[in-house]
């Protein structure tokens, strides 16, 4: 099959030119729905609402057109645009107490949001993670509805080549008519087959149906790549550029939401969102909403917009000169983040004949693989597919260590709940569900992702011409809680962002145990047979304290931030109700992963789509 990715990007740009709105189409106009943020969930929601020709929808997106960049459209260029302020928000957290340094907290800036810059894994979590949302007080937010929503979004393309049944899946677990395409690469990355067999040799099962909600074991997960063109399939391509043109949908780019225009409650009524104030090319405008304003600006920005609009903790707002419209101390709290860190090995390139993405550092090799990519093969078609999900009881490698970690965390939880500075409504219920997961031998508690390239860290940088493989230990169910709060009434001033990582030792120690487990599998044939040496952290790191120091020095986040606009009962720390309506308001909603009350064992892309899809169904049902 022939694919011309650069021609594809040009065609996408031309298709979008007639679809993007002008400022006069939006400024001072009135729409039924105004969506602030044209990212993963926001474009999904807007496109679904606009399917009704009798309603009008405006989308305000602060960034530009992501789909016109080859570095976005062409897969396997992980992180190439990270740090580019045109395409990402280069956020940084406050200095982390446990680390002594801040963390990069970047987000996609443009149509499609972070679905344009992520690492392309399209994955659903385990059932218990989603059912926990309903157990925390949000009826209808359960696995059954979640799974149906994801299926409406996706079109799964089974692999045309699958030697020895390497990729295991069941067609019934996927959707086949949605606008977001995902697939498996034709070629398995170097070293992954050996890793899979080594895992089997130490008793790790092969996940038979990774999209079923049971992800335990060694699974291969599809990527959001359209195999017909070998290009990234993301919110901008699926729900805007390649979607039917709808004159009732106006998408304005380079339009940054500043605040929601709120009518104060009177006589016991709820506050009403009348419209949005936004900035476009240096000028401030407004747009009106007849029905709803929906914030879909992501976990960092949606809660900040609420505070800028007078919704939040009055003790934070009033010193900044912002009048409190709705007092809710939960806004910007309950922030949770996935943390990661990697162990890296140099591999035997010549003996085993496989190539890894590290070789693309050489311009001549990169040029060769660009030509191969145009034919649908080569390194630029390789993806991150192999993910190992294990219960904590299987991750720990030392007898008694699992029981020791559980006991220590239970003591830490008890101390936090007894501390007025840390306890808050809803936290007890969250921790109870989390400990149920930790103690469930069939529920996963950590992810080890295989990447056929050197995951860079200060401890180890790739050398030209050499090949590497990394096992990334990712914390998925963090016990630590942080916050995001504005520090100025000026919407251009970044908020204070503190995920408070590793406030619970359990979070740090889970990553340590995953690294120790990774060394165990690296000492097992046939995986050990492809290894030259351990690059990072190297053989000098052995004790738990040495591992902790390595993780602290090298850890980063996955930018899977959730919780800042938590969906839960108001008296349990909720910001939005099950219809994603902000408490104390008549018609203001939030639609992004900030509403997630308790984190999930998954990459968050599919879940962001599902939230947009589910809110569209809720709003349509209410309008009947």
pLDDT tens column, 543-573: 999 999 999 999 999 999 999 999 999 999 9
Query: Which DSSP helix (H) or strand (E) runs through 259?
Result: strand 255-263
- Which residues, listed in sequence order, are joined to residue 292 by a DSSP beta bridge? 33
- 221: helix, coil or strand? coil
Q: How many CB atoms lie within 10 A of CB 323?
A: 11
Between the two ends of the chain, the Cα-to-Cα distance in Å is 46
460 touches 336 (CB < 8 A)? no
Least confident of 21-35, 121-135, 149-163, 480-494: 149-163
Please give the Cα distance from 371 to 76 (Å, whole number): 14
Model confidence band, residue 76 (pLDDT cutoffs 50, 70, 90): confident
pLDDT surpasses 50 at 4: no
Q: What is the mean pLDDT of residues 271-292?
A: 98
DSSP per-residue letters across 506-550:
HHHHHHHHHHHHHHHHHTSTTTGGGEEEEEES-TT--SHHHHHHH
> What is the dihedral sign for C-alpha 556, 560, 565, 571?
negative
DSSP state of 63: S
The label of the residue with tokens 């928000």 reads 89
Q: Give the pLDDT confidence score for residue 12 in this predicted structure.
A: 54
As a 3-state breakdown, the chain gives helix, strand, coil percent values, each rounded to 5, of 35, 20, 45
Q: Cα 467 to chain center, whole Å?
A: 28
User: In this model, does residue 434 exceed pLDDT 60?
Assistant: yes
CB 446 within 8 A of CB 473: yes
Give pLDDT, residue 419.
Answer: 96
The Cα 184–Cα 162 span in angstroms is 9
pLDDT at 16: 54
Question: CA 149, CA 183: separation in Å to the nearest integer?
Answer: 18
Confidence (pLDDT) at 103: 96
* C-beta of residue 392 within 8 angstroms of C-beta of residue 446: yes
Cis amide prior to 537 (ω within 30 degrees): yes
pLDDT-derived band at 15, boundaries 50, 70, 90: low
Peptide bond just before 526 cis, omega within 30 deg: yes
Identify the CA nearest to 611 among candidates 140, 246, 62, 173. Answer: 140
What pLDDT shows up at residue 124? 98
**Residue 590 forms beta bridges with which residues?**
295
pLDDT value for 438: 98
Please give the Cα distance from 474 to 8 (Å, whole number): 34
Domains of the chain: 1-119+234-334+483-499+560-624 (3.50.50.60), 185-221+339-475+502-554 (3.30.410.40)
Greater pLDDT, 593 or 79: 593
| pTM listed for this prediction | 0.96
Q: Give the whole-angstrom CA distance, residue 186 versus residue 161.
A: 6
Q: How confident is the model at residue 85 (pLDDT cuts 50, 70, 90)?
A: confident
Residue from 191, 201, 192, 166 nearest 524 by CA:
201
| Residues facing 64 on adjacent strands | 110
Average pLDDT over residues 57-65: 96
Q: How far apart are CA 525 and CA 581, in angstroms?
A: 54
Average pLDDT, the chain: 93
- Helix residue ranges per DSSP H, 218-289: 235-236
pLDDT, tens digit (0-9, with 9 covering 90-100), for 108-130: 899 999 999 899 999 999 999 99
Least confident of 248-252, 266-270, 611-615: 266-270
The pLDDT assigned to 553 comes to 95
Query: Residue 306 above 90 pLDDT?
Result: yes
Q: In the structure, what pLDDT confidence band is assigned to residue 67 with cuts at 50, 70 and 90? A: confident
Instruction: Please state the rounded mean pLDDT for residues 410-429.
Output: 97
Q: What is the mean pLDDT of residues 247-263?
A: 98
Residues 77 and 54: their CA atoms lie apart, in Å, by 41
pLDDT digits (tens, 9 = 90+) for 478-534: 999 999 999 999 999 999 999 999 999 999 999 999 999 999 999 999 999 999 999
Looking at residue 241, the DSSP 8-state letter turns out to be: I
Residue showing tokens 């919704």: 311
Mean pLDDT of 165-173: 94
- Contact status, residue 348 vs residue 469, Cβ threshold 8 Å: no
615, 294 contact by CB (below 8 A): yes
Query: Residue 3: what pLDDT?
Result: 40
CB 439 within 8 A of CB 407: no
pLDDT of residue 144: 98
Indicate whether 404 pLDDT > 70. Answer: yes
Q: For 435-477, write each residue's pLDDT tens digit.
A: 999 999 999 999 999 999 998 777 678 889 999 999 999 999 9
- Strands 272-280 and 255-263, by their bridges, are antiparallel
pLDDT exceeds 90 at position 349: no
Nearest to 109 by CA among 140, 65, 70, 76: 65
What are the structure tokens assigned to 565, written together? 């606009």
Tokens of 482: 């942080």
**Contact in structure between 131 and 163 (CB atoms under 8 Å):** no
pLDDT at 35 over 50: yes
Report pLDDT for 82: 80
**Per-residue pLDDT, 331:** 99
Estimate to the nearest angstrom the gap between the alpha carbon of 242 and the chain centroid: 23
């Amino acid at each position: 099959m022939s694919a011309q990715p650069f021609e594809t990007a040009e065609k996408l740009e031309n298709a979008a030119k007639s679809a993007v709105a002008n400022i006069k189409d939006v400024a001072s106009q009135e729409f039924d729905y105004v969506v602030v943020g044209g990212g993963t969930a926001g474009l999904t929601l807007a496109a679904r609402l606009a399917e009704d020709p009798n309603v009008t929808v405006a989308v305000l997106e602060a960034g530009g057109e992501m789909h016109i960049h080859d570095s976005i459209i062409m897969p396997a260029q992980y992180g190439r645009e990270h740090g580019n302020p045109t395409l990402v928000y280069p956020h940084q957290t406050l200095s982390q107490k446990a680390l002594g340094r801040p963390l990069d907290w970047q987000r996609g800036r443009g149509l499609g949001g972070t679905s344009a810059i992520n690492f392309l894994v399209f994955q659903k979590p385990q059932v218990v993670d989603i059912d926990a949302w309903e157990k925390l007080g949000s009826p209808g937010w359960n696995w059954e509805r979640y799974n149906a929503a994801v299926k409406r979004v996706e079109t799964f393309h089974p692999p045309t080549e699958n030697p020895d049944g390497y990729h295991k899946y069941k067609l019934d677990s996927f959707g086949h008519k949605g606008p977001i395409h995902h697939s498996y690469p034709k070629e398995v990355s170097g070293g992954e087959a050996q890793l899979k067999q080594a895992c089997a040799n130490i008793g790790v099962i092969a996940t038979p149906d990774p999209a079923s909600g049971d992800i335990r074991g060694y699974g291969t997960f599809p990527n959001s790549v359209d195999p017909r063109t070998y290009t990234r399939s993301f919110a901008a391509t699926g729900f805007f550029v390649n979607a039917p043109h709808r004159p009732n949908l106006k998408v304005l780019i380079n339009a940054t939401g500043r605040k929601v225009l709120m009518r104060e409650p009177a006589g016991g009524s709820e506050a009403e969102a009348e419209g949005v104030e936004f900035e476009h090319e240096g000028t401030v405008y407004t747009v009106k909403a007849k029905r709803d304003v929906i914030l879909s600006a992501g976990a960092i920005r949606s809660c900040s917009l609420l505070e800028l609009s007078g919704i939040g903790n009055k003790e934070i707002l009033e010193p900044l000169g912002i009048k409190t419209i709705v007092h809710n101390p939960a806004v910007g709290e309950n922030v949770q983040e996935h943390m990661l860190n990697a162990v890296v090995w140099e591999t035997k390139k010549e003996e085993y004949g496989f190539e890894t993405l590290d070789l693309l550092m050489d311009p001549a090799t990169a040029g060769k693989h660009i030509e191969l990519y145009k034919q649908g093969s080569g390194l630029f078609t390789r993806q991150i597919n192999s993910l190992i999900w294990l219960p904590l009881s299987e991750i720990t490698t030392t007898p008694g260590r699992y029981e020791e970690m559980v006991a220590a965390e239970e003591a830490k939880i008890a101390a936090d709940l007894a501390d007025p500075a840390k306890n808050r409504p809803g936290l007890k219920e969250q921790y109870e569900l989390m400990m149920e997961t930790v103690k469930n031998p069939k529920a996963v508690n950590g992810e080890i992702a295989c990447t056929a390239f050197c995951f860079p860290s200060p401890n180890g940088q790739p050398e030209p011409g050499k090949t590497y493989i990394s096992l990334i230990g990712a914390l998925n169910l963090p016990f630590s809680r942080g916050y995001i709060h504005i520090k100025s009434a000026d919407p251009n001033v970044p908020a204070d962002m503190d995920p408070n990582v590793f406030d619970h030792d359990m979070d740090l120690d889970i990553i340590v145990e995953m690294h120790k487990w990774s060394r165990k599998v690296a000492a097992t044939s046939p995986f050990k047979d492809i290894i030259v040496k351990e690059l990072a952290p190297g053989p000098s790191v052995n004790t738990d304290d040495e591992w902790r120091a390595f993780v602290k020095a090298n850890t980063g986040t996955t930018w899977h931030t959730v919780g800042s606009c938590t969906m839960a009962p108001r008296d349990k720390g909720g910001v939005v109700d099950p219809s994603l309506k902000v408490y104390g308001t008549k018609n203001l909603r939030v639609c992004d992963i900030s509403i997630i009350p308790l984190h999930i064992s998954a990459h968050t892309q599919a879940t962001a789509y599902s939230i947009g899809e589910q809110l569209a169904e809720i709003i349509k049902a209410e309008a009947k």
